[in-house]
Chain A
Amino acid sequence: MFLAVLSFLFFIITPIISFADLKPSFLEYEAEITIGSWLFPEDPLYDGQKQNNYSIAFEPEIYSEWAEGNNLVLRPFFLFDSQDNNRSHIDIREALYSWYGDDWEASIGVGQIFWGVTESKNLVDIINQFDAVYDPLFKTKLGQPLVNYTLIRDTGYYELFILPYFRERTSPGQKGRLRLDPEFTKGSTKYEGGSQWTPEAAIRWSNSFGEYDFSLHSFLGYARSPSVDITLVNSKIQFQPNYQRVRQIGGTIQKTSNATLYKLEWLAKAGQKDAKFKRGSYFASVIGFEHTLYKAILDSGDIGLIMEYNYDSRRSRSSDTLQDDIFIGGRFTLNDSDDTQMLVGSIIDLDGDGQIYQLDFGRRLNDSLTFGIKGSIYQNGKYNSNIYILRQDSWVEINLKQYF
């Protein structure tokens, strides 16, 4: 997979470099090293799993500009995990060449794109695959090979994406936690109706009108989350990830009204298999608000109150954990010189399928060092539900990030 990405990059970057004036007018180098530890208070449930693990991640970045309106960013990522070989991996987060004029921008290479407005989940965020083994809170993404063209008009931003290569979601190996039992069989991934090289395409429009921000998109390609094929090999059960081609439309609305933000994300999708292996169409949405109480902590810190409802028309047949769930969260921003921030959230399933509690805390220790604590608690899942499978895997991550 990594080789495939590299060869894609080679074809993309080589002609650009050879045509460009080789001496950049601006060059910047920086890097991050993150040392992290995952602690699991409860014993592992499944064969081969280890208790705790340690990891070190290295992420350098080179940014260069040639003439005005031309730039290249290179950002590889290296992760070494003490226990799980699947978690140790190399990725190219970004290797993107961009050029732009007053009302357009084009880019080619490997990029990171974010779509969405809500906090508990971003339904519409389809371009990049998640790096699920590195970040179980699903905020970190794998680099996506892409060609993008964006037009900026008075009527909005128009974006076109061609995605020539599909990235499989990273998943834990036998020694790793936060997985199915057994873990996904290596090399068994299926891409229904094509291969990883079957191209995908997306278009998007977005614009602001006063206090409203809107977006609409359409996507043709592989669903980012796999369904799970169950097969018997030598009378042993095997789980195999299976990605299906989907057709999707979706959109976002945000109203920014004084201290309160009202948010909606929605999509309608066809072609994806549900938890009962049935292919069909469905509608899903996240709707909610975030209200900020300014200067509520020590006369300078803010508290943001977040409430969102996650809906999925497949209900219990949905493979998504958030399908009829309320997210209630608090964002605490102390506004101090160390930038202390904390997000706590609870996800409550309205069908009685358990709760998830989440924490994400961070602060600066000095000008080039930050400290973070993250974690999740999985509770009271119904038999064989996603939360049930993770019932022994509640976790805490403690990390230190050094910037160079």
Chain B
Amino acid sequence: MKICIRFILPILILSLSNISFALAETPEEKGLRLAIEADLTGEGFIDTISQSQMTLRNAQGEESIREFSSKTLEVENDGDKSIFIFHHPKDVKGTATLTFTHKTGPDDQWLYLPALKRVKRISSDNRSGAFVGSEFAYEDLASQEVEKYTYKWIEDVPCPGDEAEMCYVSESYPVEKSSGYTRRVSWVDINEHRVRKIDFYDRKDKLLKTLIFSDYKQYLEKFWTAHTLKMVNHNTGKETDIAISATEYKTGLKDADFNRQSLKRAR
């Protein structure tokens, strides 16, 4: 199993700082500006720990459950460091990954297999692959660095499912050729930079998946976190829900909690 999680923080934690530029912008400039603003408002979380449950549902409605926890450490001038640990089902309990995300170039990633006590350096090249058989691809869950996409603002509309709020609709185009998408279309609320919905278009530019974010809670009066994510695959009818049961910020994690020795201890 190859797991690639920098966790969902940067797309989940988007908060306000909507500076209006009076100057005329192209839609591309506006899209990039909004992406940078959204990214800046997620900065300064220092570290975070969360517990999640994932429900995989096939077209017949049969469900299977995954449980995992993750720890993330913010790194200045580079991508985040994270450890991701499986708890359920029992045959993969204790399986864990350590990821050093980089703003440019491939990420460094190690996988720990508890049955063999083996730490394996693995490739982070599989960004378009399915994460543990779910409808989430590794790249959907990866740290959303601004540099990894180009952008274009489309329009401002009432937010889907929340007509009282206004959202900006923006398209982002992955820089990496190994991405499974030609583009993503995002609905993000103007007030707080919270992502409400993303449509994913496959390599043939056909609508492949839709992801809906809900149950936002604010932490430390700054960081907005969605506690429910629902991904629907329009091709297969399969769905995957992620329910984040517990999130904590600034827990005092250190750099020493993110190395191959601590990966072996992760439980």
A residues contacting B by CB (< 8 A) are: 28, 30, 63, 71, 98, 100, 102-103, 105, 112-114, 116-117, 139, 150, 152, 157, 208, 211, 213, 254, 256-261, 292, 294-295, 300, 302, 333, 335-339, 364, 367-368, 370, 401, 403
In contact, A336 and B133 (Cβ under 8 angstroms): yes
Contacts of A211 in B (CB 8 A): 106, 108
Does B167 sit at the interface, judged by CB under 8 A? Answer: no
Question: Please, how many residues of chain B have a CB less than 8 angstroms from a CB on the other chain?
Answer: 36
| A contacts with B: majority SS | strand
Chain A residues with CB under 8 Å of B133's CB are: 300, 335-339
Complex Cα spacing A256 to B89, Å: 29
14 A-B pairs, CB-CB below 8 angstroms?
A30-B90, A98-B265, A102-B254, A152-B261, A208-B108, A254-B121, A261-B122, A292-B123, A292-B125, A294-B125, A300-B133, A335-B130, A336-B133, A403-B91
Q: Give every chain A residue within 8 A of B1 (Cβ-Cβ).
A: 333, 339
Given contacts A63-B267, A367-B89, A368-B90, contact A114 B116 (CB under 8 A): yes
A-contacting residues, B99-139, CB 8 Å: 106, 108, 116-123, 125-126, 128-130, 132-133
Question: Is chain B's interface secondary structure helix, strand, loop, or mixed overall?
Answer: mixed
**B90 to chain A: closest residue by CB:** A403
CB-based nearest B residue for A340: B133
- Report A-chain residues with C-beta under 8 Å of the C-beta of B118: 114, 116
Most buried by B among A259, A335, A401: A335
Partner of A261, one of B88, B119, B123, B129: B123
A258-B106 contact in complex given A100-B265, A152-B261, C-beta closer than 8 Å = yes
Q: What is the CA–CA distance of A111 and B116 in the complex, to the nearest angstrom?
A: 12
State whether the Cβ of B259 lies closer than 8 Å to any Cβ in chain A: yes
- Minimum distance in angstroms from B232 CB to a CB of chain A: 16
Instruction: Kindly provide the distance from the CB of B9 to the nearest chain A CB, expressed in whole angstroms.
Output: 24
Q: Which residues of B contact A335 (CB under 8 A)?
A: 129-130, 132-133
Q: Which residues of B contact A (CB under 8 A)?
A: 1-2, 56, 58, 64-65, 88-93, 106, 108, 116-123, 125-126, 128-130, 132-133, 254, 256, 259-261, 265, 267
A292 to B267, CA, bound (A): 29
A339 touches B129 (CB 8 A): no
Q: How far is the CA of A403 from the CA of B87 in the complex (A)?
A: 13
Chain B residues with CB under 8 A of A367: 64-65, 88-90
Chain B residues with Cβ below 8 Å from A368 are 89-91
A157 to B1, CA, bound (A): 25
Q: A30-B93, A338-B133, A364-B91 known; 6 other A-B pairs, CB under 8 Å? A: A113-B117, A339-B1, A367-B64, A367-B90, A370-B91, A403-B91
Given contacts A105-B261, A114-B118, A157-B261, contact A294 B89 (CB under 8 A): no
The verdict on A295 contacting B265 (CB below 8 Å), with A114-B117, A208-B108, A364-B91 known, is: no
A261, A294, A337, A364 pick with most chain B CB within 10 angstroms: A337
Complex partner residue of B123 from A116, A259, A338, CB under 8 angstroms:
A259
Q: How far is the CA of A260 from the CA of B64 in the complex (A)?
A: 32
CB contact under 8 A between A150 and B261, given known A337-B56, A364-B89: yes
Question: Which residues of the other chain, A, contact B58 by a CB distance below 8 angstroms?
Answer: 337
For A294, give its contact among B108, B122, B129 (CB under 8 Å). Answer: B129
| Nearest-Cβ distance from residue A69 to partner chain B, whole angstroms | 10
Q: How far is B124's CA from A292's CA once the two chains are assembled, in angstroms?
A: 11
The answer to whether A213 and B121 touch (CB under 8 A), given A258-B106, A295-B129, A337-B64, is yes
Q: Which of A103, A254, A401 contacts B91 (CB 8 A)?
A: A401
Tell whether A103 pairs with B129 under 8 Å between CB atoms, given A208-B121, A367-B89.
no
Contacts of A257 in B (CB 8 A): 123
Which residues from chain B contact A403 at a C-beta distance below 8 Å?
A: 89-91, 93
In the complex formed, the residue of B with least CB distance to A206 is B260
Please name the 10 residue pairs, one residue from A and one from B, whose CB atoms are nearest each other, closest first: A403-B90, A102-B256, A337-B133, A114-B118, A367-B89, A114-B117, A258-B125, A112-B117, A259-B125, A337-B64
Write out the residue numbers on chain A whose beta carbons fall within 8 Å of the beta carbon of B120: 117
Smallest CB separation, B123 vs chain A (Å): 6
How distant is B241 from chain A, measured CB to nearest CB, in Å? 14
> Chain A contacts of B2 at CB under 8 A?
302
Closest chain B residue to A369, Cβ basis: B91
A335 to B134, CA, bound (A): 9
CB closest chain-B residue, reference A336: B133
Nearest CB in chain A to that of B119: its residue: A114
Q: How far is the CB of A77 from chain B (nearest CB, A)?
A: 13
The smallest C-beta distance from A391 to any residue of chain B, in angstroms, reads: 30
B267: chain A residues within 8 A (beta carbon): 28, 63
Bound: A367/B56 CA distance, A:
13
Residue on A nearest B91 in the bound complex, by CB: A370
Inter-subunit contact A302/B261 (CB<8 Å): no
Q: Do A300 and B261 have beta carbons less than 8 Å apart? A: no
- Residues in B with CB closer than 8 Å to A139 are 116
- Residues of A near B132 (CB, < 8 A) are 335, 339
The residues of B that contact A213 with a CB separation of less than 8 Å are 121
